[in-house]
């Protein structure tokens, strides 16, 4: 559908892009990612014919882009630019109708009934039909964004170029728009080429991603190939954490903020353990990353600021909670200091809680769980996730001696 071959160029006296090559197939949702100033918009402007290249070529449906008249091109490619705050005194209906321009063959055929039908359909699909007769400047940023999308759709393009399409949209409209675009790529063979700043949205919806860095292609591939911690850190120069989406087989990237200096350094130990006649409680002064089994509240993986074992009547505390019919017995504590971390263990007839002062990997959590599971079924492994990364092998040997 679209081939970009060895493309270089930019603005007069200011080259931006160097040797970019890629192809986009019909019905593909193709994402362009990259830091600010990496050349994403410049590339999109070249594909839309707004900027000419210095070297290389762009083929649309196997014909060089430069051989299309602007009207011919508008029947194939529609562009949704970054929405600016400048709007003209047009109504929503008039704005969307402009999308039909490329399909009109003469002045007297303007607004034929077929065109009108398509305009109404585009307005319905984007949910802007409810304010069809309002002026653009009477709408919110997100509503305006949807009007321009309707205009692009009314153009009935084969290729839709989008520059940060979800920029002004709230969460529900982001999802609705992207679900809709994805479905049109499948059902109508629409090809979508879109710039994204949100790596996670790109990861969820794109078939492939081109990652630009300083005007050059850094990587081209499937989202799971491109969205790797090390690649993103190298290109964006910021720390991110990669993890699997909990519901779909897609990778997600989280920012890793520098919040640790706001948290005072603590060592988990006996002074945070409280016992009375109806409960044993560990009240942590900071949130702990936890993995728990057997709990009525907080089982699985999470972040909690405490653990409670209770019997008798007691209101829920929001901490990881274990319930017992009878009082737990033989509550023992152990503080173990290794070269890398200190571990605080609370053990009773009913549970084992392992609290780590250090950073524990997912594997470390699972292995600690496995050691504790040899002698208990109600278990919490908790970690401050601050300080040194704990060596899982050493940890297992240490825990095996104490549990």
- Residue 14 sits in the site that holds ligand ATP (CB under 6 A): yes
SS3 of 349, please? Answer: coil
Which of these segments, 33-41, 94-102, 259-267, 364-372, binds ligand ATP (CB under 6 A)?
Answer: 33-41
From the CB of 253, what's the least distance to ligand ATP, in Å? 17
CB 56 within 8 A of CB 6: yes
CB of 83 to ligand ATP, least distance (A): 13
CB of 10 to ligand ATP, least distance (A): 6
Determine if 42 is a binding residue for ligand ATP (CB under 6 A). Answer: yes
User: Taking CB under 6 A as the rule, does residue 36 contact ligand ATP?
Assistant: yes
Measured CA to CA, the distance from residue 244 to residue 224 in angstroms comes to: 10
User: What are the residues whose beta carbons fall under 8 Å from the beta carbon of 387, sequence distance 6 or more?
Assistant: 341, 357, 358, 359
Beta carbon nearer to ligand ATP, 33 or 307: 33
Q: Taking CB under 6 A as the rule, does residue 157 contact ligand ATP?
A: no
Q: What are the phi and psi torsion angles at 32 (to 5°)?
A: -115, 120
In the complex with ligand ATP, which residue's Cβ is closer, 11 or 274?
11
Told to check if 330 binds ligand ATP by CB under 6 A, we report no
Q: What count of other Cβ atoms lies within 10 Å of the Cβ of residue 375?
A: 10
Nearest to 16 by CA among 49, 58, 51: 51
Closest separation between CB of residue 53 and ligand ATP, Å?
13
Nearer to ligand ATP, 81 or 387 (CB): 81
Q: Is 41 in the site for ligand ATP (CB under 6 A)?
A: yes
Looking at 11, 21, 111, 373, which residue binds ligand ATP (CB under 6 A)?
11
Backbone angles phi, psi at 107, to 5 degrees: -55, -40
For residue 131, the tally of other CB atoms under 10 A from its CB is 18
Dihedral angle over CA of 185, 186, 188, 193, nearest 10: 10
Between 37 and 141, CB nearer to ligand ATP? 37
Tell me how far apart the alpha carbons of residues 242 and 256 are, in angstroms, rounded to a whole number: 10
Residue bearing tokens 């496995």: 370
Q: Which of 197/314 has CB closer to ligand ATP?
A: 197
Query: Which lies closer to ligand ATP via its Cβ, residue 14 or residue 330?
Result: 14
Q: How many residues lie near ligand ATP (CB under 6 A)?
A: 11
16 contacts ligand ATP (rule: CB under 6 A): yes
Q: Is the separation of the CB atoms in 256 and 248 below 8 Å?
A: no
The answer to the question of residue 39 lying near ligand ATP (CB under 6 A) is yes
User: In the sheet that 216-221 helps form, which strands lie side by side, from edge to edge?
Assistant: 77-80, 159-163, 191-195, 29-33, 208-213, 216-221
- Report if residue 347 touches ligand ATP, rule: CB under 6 A: no
Minimum distance, C-beta of residue 35 to ligand ATP, in the bound complex (Å): 7
Q: Interface with ligand ATP by CB under 6 A: which range of 31-39, 172-180, 341-349, 394-402?
A: 31-39
20: Cβ contacts below 8 Å, ≥ 6 apart: 4, 6, 7, 8, 43, 56, 212, 216, 217
Q: Where along the sequence are the contacts to ligand ATP (CB under 6 A)?
A: 11, 14, 16, 34, 36-42
């Amino acid at each position: 559908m679209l081939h970009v071959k060895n493309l270089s160029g930019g603005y007069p006296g200011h080259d931006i892009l160097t040797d970019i090559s890629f192809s986009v197939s019909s019905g593909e949702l193709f994402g362009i990612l990259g830091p600010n100033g990496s050349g994403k918009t410049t590339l999109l402007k070249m594909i839309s014919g707004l900027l000419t290249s210095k070297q290389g070529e762009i083929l649309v449906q196997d014909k060089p882009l430069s051989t299309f008249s602007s009207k011919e091109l508008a029947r194939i490619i529609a562009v949704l630019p970054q929405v600016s705050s400048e709007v003209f005194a047009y109504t929503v209906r008039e704005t969307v109708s402009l999308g039909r321009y490329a399909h009109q063959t003469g002045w007297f055929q303007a607004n034929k009934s077929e065109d009108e039908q398509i305009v109404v359909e585009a307005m319905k699909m984007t949910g802007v039909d409810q304010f069809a007769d309002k002026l653009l400047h009477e709408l919110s940023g997100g509503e305006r964004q949807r009007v321009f999308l309707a205009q692009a759709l009314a153009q009935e393009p084969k290729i839709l170029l989008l520059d940060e399409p979800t920029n002004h949209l709230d969460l529900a409209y982001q999802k609705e728009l992207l679900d809709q675009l994805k479905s049109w790529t499948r059902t109508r063979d629409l090809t979508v080429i879109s710039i994204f700043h949100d790596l996670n949205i790109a990861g969820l919806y794109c078939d492939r991603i081109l990652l630009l860095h300083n005007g050059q292609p850094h990587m081209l591939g499937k989202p799971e190939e491109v969205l790797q911690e090390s690649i993103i850190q190298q290109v964006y120069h910021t720390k991110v954490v990669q993890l699997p989406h909990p519901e779909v087989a897609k990778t997600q990237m989280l920012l890793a903020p520098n919040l640790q200096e706001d948290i005072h350094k603590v060592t988990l130990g006996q002074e945070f353990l409280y016992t009375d006649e109806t409960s044993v409680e560990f009240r942590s002064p900071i949130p702990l990353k936890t993995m728990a089994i057997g709990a009525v509240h907080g089982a699985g993986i999470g972040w909690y600021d405490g653990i409670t074992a209770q019997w008798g009547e007691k209101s829920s505390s929001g901490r990881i909670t274990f319930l017992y019919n009878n009082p737990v017995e033989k509550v023992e504590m152990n503080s173990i200091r290794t070269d890398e971390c200190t571990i605080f263990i609370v053990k009773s007839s009913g549970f084992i809680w392992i609290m780590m002062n250090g950073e524990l990997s997912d594997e470390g959590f699972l292995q600690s769980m496995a050691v504790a599971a040899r002698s208990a079924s109600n278990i919490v492994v908790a970690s401050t996730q601050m300080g040194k990364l704990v060596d899982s092998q050493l940890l297992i040997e240490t825990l095996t001696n104490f549990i």
